[in-house]
Amino acid sequence: MTRRALEKLTDLIRRAEAFIDLAKEVQNEARNNREDLLRQLADEYGTWYAEALAALPLNHAEAFRKEYEGGFPNYKIKHFLQAGLELNKVFAELAAQGTISKWLYPVNSSFLAPLSEQKQILRNTMADTGGHPGLLATLDTLEDVFRRLPVALAVLRRDVRGRPGLVVIDEYDLQRIVHAILCLHHRDVRPEEYGPSRAGAHPRLDFLLKEERVAVETKMTRNNLGPRQLGNELAQDILRYQAHDHADAYFALVHDPEKHVLNAPGFERDISTDTAFPVRVVIIQ
């Protein structure tokens, strides 16, 4: 699959998010223009659906189509777009009691759930080909920025007009600087995001780039954190964050001022990967 095709899949996944709030408003009885909203949703989704089918290989297109077509008793997107405002008259009494939905085609089961499946099919297609162009571009940018961090740290260390410079003593100092830099390049930087539970604990990742869906970790080598220990920590992080609901890639910045990692380029190559869950490790010395 070409890079252009992968970029198309990334764009389709991003555009699908806009349908969620619009679909919910269709069955929001506080709205006066719900018929117009349903028509708008049908038009916009129809264009998106046609583009998605054209972009998918045959082995994924059929599953994608089923999430649209549906059928008794699993009514899906097609039915919602055709009659999303129709009330459940067959089981009206149960609907009045609140036992079942009042809508013949409830938005959650008839639109949002199958749309989520369609998004996953698009992600699976990308994973099958090892492609994440948007994520890779973000990782490339992060690498380019933080490769130049040693120069910035040298500037910060200088005394200016009798005022002492900023010296990076430990990981907490490094995190503050990294946080500031991330905020210059990304609109939604979430510090101290908690990852999925593992062995009863919820490990904390340093930062999450919410829009880009990239987890960012900072590490600083020391006497008891040499190459072997560092490699083990990174491997554990990668396993944890693959299960994170909002992270599709992992970027690790390692500050190694005392050069504990003698072969930094080789270390980076061994751990970094551009496959299903892209990983980028950058060591600055």
Kindly state whether residues 249 and 172 are assigned to the same domain.
Answer: yes
pLDDT of residue 130: 62
Those residues with Cβ within 8 angstroms of residue 137's Cβ, 6 or more apart along the chain or in another chain: none
Same domain? For 7 and 94 the reply is yes
Please report the pLDDT score of residue 202 as a whole number.
46
Give me the chain's average pLDDT, please: 89
Range of the domain at 11: 3-128
Residue 52: what residue type?
Answer: A
**Domain termination residue (choose one: 128, 143, 175):** 128
Whether the predicted pLDDT of 200 surpasses 50: no
Q: State whether 24 and 114 are in the same domain.
A: yes
pLDDT for 90: 72
Same domain, yes or no: 108 and 140: no
The answer on 65 and 13 residing in a single domain is: yes
| Of the residues 95, 128, 161, the one at which a domain ends | 128
Q: Looking at residues 65-84, what average pLDDT do you find? A: 95
- 235 and 115 co-located in one domain: no
Q: Structural domain tally of the chain? A: 2
Here the tokens at position 57 are: 């290989």
- Closest by CA to 218, choosing from 141, 152, 140, 284, is 284
Q: Check whether residue 204 and residue 113 sit in a common domain.
A: no
Same domain (yes/no): 124, 137: no
d(CA 121, CA 234): 29
Last residue of a domain, one of 128, 154, 180: 128
Token look-up 């506080």 returns 30
pLDDT for 183 beyond 90: yes
pTM above 0.85, yes or no: no
266: burial class by Cβ within 10 Å (0-12, 13-18, 19+)? exposed
Q: What is the pLDDT of residues 8-20, one digit of tens each?
A: 888 898 899 899 9
- Cα–Cα distance between 112 and 24 in angstroms, integer? 9
**Do 73 and 142 have their domain in common?**
no
- Kindly report, residue by residue over 223-278, the tens digit of the pLDDT: 989 899 999 999 999 988 888 888 889 999 999 999 999 999 999 999 998 767 88
- Which tokens is 50 given? 């046609």
Q: How far apart are CA 71 and CA 74, in angstroms?
A: 5
Report whether the peptide linkage leading into residue 73 is cis, meaning its omega lies within 30 degrees of zero: yes
How would you label 82-95 residue by residue, b for 16+ Cβ within 10 Å and e otherwise? Answer: eebeeebeeeeeeb
| pLDDT tens readout for residues 20-46 | 999 999 999 999 999 999 999 999 999
Instruction: Say which residues have a Cβ less than 8 Å from residue 194's Cβ, sequence separation at least 6.
Output: 202, 203, 204, 205
Contacts of 202 (CB under 8 A, 6+ apart): 194, 195, 196
- 198 and 229 share one domain: yes
| Residues 142, 180 within the same domain | yes
Same domain assignment for residues 105 and 149: no
CATH number at residue 230: 3.40.1350
